[in-house]
Structures are given as structure tokens and as C-alpha cells.
Amino acid sequence: MSFPHRVPVRGEFLSPSLPPRWPCSAVGVRCLGEEHDPGMDLVALLKSHFLCHLIFCYVFIVSGLIINTIQLCTLLLWPVNKQLFRKINCRLSYCVSSQLVMLLEWWSGTECVIYTDPRAYPKYGKENAIVVLNHKFEIDFLCGWSLAERFGVLGGSKVLAKKELAYVPIIGWMWYFTEMVFCTRKWEQDRKTVSESLLHLRDYPEKYFFLIHCEGTRFTEKKHQISMQVAQAKGLPSLKHHLLPRTKGFAVTVRSLRNVVSAVYDCTLNFRNNENPTLLGVLNGKKYHADLYVRRIPLEEVPEEEDKCAAWLHKLYQEKDAFQEEYSRTGTFPETPVVPPRRPWTLVNWLFWASMLLYPFFRFVVNMVSSGSSLTLASFVLVFFVASMGVRWMIGVTEIDKGSAYGNMDSKQKHSD
């Protein structure tokens, strides 16, 4: 029986000429003679308990609303000192987004091995970059945030997001105050608004990753079939592991941020042993094993003209597809594996908010239960039920089958992208 590759020690590069091996404990397989630890079962049971999930969601929702309120107050700074407004909101944004990264890195213990050129690695986090990430998994956005966190730029990082998300409390409102770029996916409307939003980032005072899923929606077999029909109609090569990228958003991003962003980070994500990671799995404390291939491409190598930029992006996705095919065959990416050190600040931030909010919450619950009032107890049960439904709804938003449709927009626009 052979085992997958070993994770390098944090910050340690392994020789690409000698493929390392994973210890079996790293992938959850018990070796012969290894004793079963009942304590691990107890921890797993605790992590999957709904009360733990309720605590996480309570801390996230209440702290998020407090932060949104503080962000609203910081609007007074905008006409006086725009850069101070931005720096404050970067820190406030980190207080929200880092709670989700904490669940991935500390609660579930998910580890991500980065395969990259050792010469490029020292530049990560020290320059602005456009991060092109494949869109196949329910938690790929969270892995993108984890990448930004490992290199210290999570607070200032941006995404190209659907406009509807701007109206979602906590995350959407946080994004609004950090000047996130929103789009309607209707190019006639987005051409001007997206470009203007991107131009506003040219004098942004913090380092950032601009994360963009060029495929526009998560990969499914149905979407893939429609996408390849579009590729065939356009005379483009077929892709096996990706949808056809939408080129216009990428082209306007490159054009608007040229000379401000130093490079494109081409990121190709996959999970070992055919794992199918979900946000519910992360919340249940399940550990996943991710591999991320990162190529640093200087922005000077990306053409300026829209048509040439589109052709360049299509070629990039053909290369990404080849990397995914190689990974499915060998279980590894090219280049040298390294695990960036996990920073403690996501955990420290969550512990701070938990210590501030859980004591009054538990005291309130005890007072309600001890009152003995039937109406009070009924109200508590109702609140508990609504909270549980809210938790399930928040998780359901990330599910692949709840993603946006592929093809309808393209048909309406006659495949103009």
C-alpha cells in the first residue's frame, strides 16, 4: 500500500527530485499496530455537535454586526482622511473574515501544501497580486482567504463578487466598506462600474490579493457540458477540469491595475484522495488535505490589448487543465512543496470576540431557563429553532448545487464573452 506525499515542515522546502511521502496518520489512515484513541472520537463528536456550531454562529453574527456598525461610523473619516478610513476598515474586515479562516485552519485543522517556485515564494505577501483560482470546490473561496492570511494580506484582499452579495449582512456589508468590486454579470452594465471600482484601488494603502474566479461559477458536470458547447462554437480547445473562463472581467482587471499589481498568481487547487470538502464538514471539524499549485507570472507578460489578453487567459486555462490532469494521474503538482506557517491571529481574534460575547449570552440563557415561565421557555425554543435554520441557510449558500446557472447569461449575450 502506498501513501500520498508527506507535508513538509512549516516553511521547509522539499527537494522536487525526491518525492516525499505522507505518514499515514496525516491522511487519517491508521497504521498496523497503531492503537485507537477513544479521545479522538470524543473530540470529533464534540466538534460535530450542533451547540458548538451555534456558538460559532452566535459569535460570528453578533461580532459581525458590531463591526458593521463601527464601519458605518468610520464613514465620517472618508472626506477627512480616506487612507486612514481604509486602514481602519482593513483591520475591521480582518476581524470578520479571519473567523472563517480560523474554522478552516484551527478548528478543522485543514492543511494546504503549496507547490511553487522557491525563487518566487519570498515575494508572496510583499506585493499586490491578481489571484486566478479554479472554482470547483465548496470551500475554494475559503482556501483563497487562507492563502491571503498565511502571507499576511487577508484584511486588505479583494474579490470580484456578485452585486447581490453587497446586500448580505456582515460579509456583504463588510465588503462594501473595504471597497470590494461588485458585478452584475451583465457586461453592458459592468464595463463602466467595474472599471471605476478597480481604478479606485490604485492608491490603496495596504497590500492585497485580488481574488478572481474567471470561470464565473462553480464547476459541475452540467455546467461543464454547456461550457464546452460554447468552446466548440468559438473554436476553442476543450477543457476537462474547468469551465471556459470569462475573459472580459479579467482583461479589465489587468488593464485597471497595471503598474499597481506586480503579478498574476495562477492558483490551481485540488484535494487529496478525491476528498469533497464542504463548509459543513469544516464546521464539523473534519480535516481536509489540500494541494495548491501557485505560479507567479509577472504582469508584464500579460498582454494589454483585450483580444490578446483573452487569448492569453484561454491558454492559461489550458495549462491549468493539464496540471489538473497530471494531478489526477500522479497525485502531485509540479515545483517544490512548502507549507507556509500558520499565523495565530485568526485564533486570537476569535477568542477575543468569544470572551466578550459568550458570558452575557450564557447568563441570559440561564436566566431565561431559571425563570420557569412557559412563555419564556417557548420563546427560547423558537429562537433556538430560528438560529438553527439560520445556520443551515448560511451553510447552504456555499453548496455547489446552489450555485448560479451557467449558460443562460451567455445565451442572452450571444456568447459575447
- Average pLDDT estimate for 305-331: 95
Higher-scoring residue by pLDDT: 187, 21? 187
Computed over every residue of the chain, the mean pLDDT equals 84
Give the pLDDT score at 329. Answer: 92
Residue 19 above 50 pLDDT?
Answer: no
Residue 227 above 60 pLDDT?
Answer: yes
Antiparallel, parallel or unpaired: β 158-162 and 181-183 = parallel
**Percentage of the residues of the chain whose pLDDT score is greater than 70:** 81
Q: Which residues contact 248 (CB under 8 A, 6 or more apart)?
A: 187, 190, 191, 306, 310, 417
Give the pLDDT score at 145. Answer: 95
Q: List phi, psi (to 5°) of 134.
A: -65, 155
Residue 326 above 90 pLDDT?
Answer: yes
- Rounded CA Rg of the chain: 23
If you average pLDDT over each of 44-48, 185-189, 291-295, which comes out highest? 291-295
C-beta separation of 130 from 254 below 8 A: yes
**Percentage of the residues of the chain whose pLDDT score is greater than 90:** 61
Give the pLDDT score at 382. Answer: 74
Residue 238 above 50 pLDDT?
Answer: yes
What's the pLDDT band for 36 if we cut at 50, 70, 90? low
Angle subtended by helix axes 345-371 and 50-74, to nearest 10: 110
Give the pLDDT score at 1. Answer: 38
- Average pLDDT estimate for 56-76: 94
Residue 269 above 50 pLDDT?
Answer: yes
Higher-scoring residue by pLDDT: 151, 32? 151
Give the pLDDT score at 218. Answer: 87
What would the grid cell of residue 300 be? 508584464
Give the pLDDT score at 315. Answer: 96
What's the pLDDT band for 268 if we cut at 50, 70, 90? very high
C-beta separation of 6 from 333 below 8 A: no
The DSSP 8-state label assigned to residue 403 in this structure reads S
Residue 415 above 60 pLDDT?
Answer: no
Residue 113 above 60 pLDDT?
Answer: yes
What would the grid cell of residue 212 be? 478572481
pLDDT digits (tens, 9 = 90+) for 119-170: 999 999 999 999 999 998 999 999 999 999 999 999 999 998 888 888 888 9
From the list 254, 229, 216, the residue with the least C-alpha distance to 135 is 216
Residue 392 above 70 pLDDT?
Answer: no
In the block, cell 477540469 appears at 241
Higher-scoring residue by pLDDT: 4, 177? 177
Give the pLDDT score at 405. Answer: 58
- Average pLDDT estimate for 187-194: 84
The strand ranges marked E within 260-372 are 263-271, 289-298, 336-338
Residue 302 above 60 pLDDT?
Answer: yes
- Distance (Å, rounded) from C-alpha 209 to C-alpha 265? 9
245 CB neighbour count, 10 Å cutoff: 25
- Average pLDDT estimate for 339-345: 94
Give the pLDDT score at 57. Answer: 86
What would the grid cell of residue 413 be? 449575450
Give the pLDDT score at 348. Answer: 97
Lowest mean pLDDT among 93-107, 130-144, 330-344, 373-387: 373-387
